[in-house]
Amino acid sequence: MESSVFKAAAETVIQAGPIPIIVNETLLELLETIMTKDQARFINIFDKPLNLDEIRSQSDLKDDALEDMLSGLMDNGIITGMPSRGDGTVVYRLLPLIPGMFEFTLMRGETGPKQKKLAHLFHQLFNELADMVQKNYDALLPVFQSVPALTRVIPVEKEIDQKFEAIMPYEDVKNRQG
């Protein structure tokens, strides 16, 4: 029963990201290390970004229990909650494994046993994924060509004498250049 809960969670996490990943024992152990069984069940509602009202309508958790669940998921690096650009309503998103959970679980500077286990599991998963890609490169090439770029560099080629206090989306920066 428990493995089916984490298998469903793994499939949900994979759908949240642009990089194709297979569900295997390493991924399942990684998710079991990152989240609780209750969290694994809960994240299956995140087939898209959701505001608090949408989450309430899809969950049987109420008030403090829902707040505790969302806080725990954010603390564990599983979801983010960010105000929307439009009206400031907080929108919760499930983080993909890469990029997302990897950074939020390991890049905090913590060095305890859980972080060491996660580092080992991520390393093992990356090696397994690399092997799978190498063995199936020709078949996977169209998939990777359709994945949007994870980062973009904008060459300015001049010194910028202004400090920026915000990270801007690529499209906003591009529109200011033209």
pTM for this structure? 0.73
Q: What is the pLDDT of residues 109-157, one digit of tens each?
A: 788 899 999 999 999 999 998 888 888 888 878 877 777 666 667 777 7
Joined tokens for residue 1: 């029963």
Residue 41 and residue 79: Cα distance in Å, rounded? 14
Torsion of CA 75, 77, 79, 81, to 10 degrees: 60
Joined tokens for residue 141: 């090439």
Q: Looking at residue 4, what is its pLDDT?
A: 92
Of 74-88, 92-106, 135-149, least confident by mean pLDDT is 135-149
Domain-wise residue ranges, the chain = 2-177
Q: Looking at residue 151, what is its pLDDT?
A: 65
- b/e 41-76 (16+ beta carbons within 10 angstroms → b): ebbebbeebbeeeebeeeeebeeeebeebbebbeeb
Q: What is the pLDDT of residues 1-46, one digit of tens each?
A: 468 999 999 999 999 987 778 899 999 999 999 999 999 999 999 9
Q: Looking at residue 174, what is its pLDDT?
A: 62
pLDDT higher at 159 or 164: 159
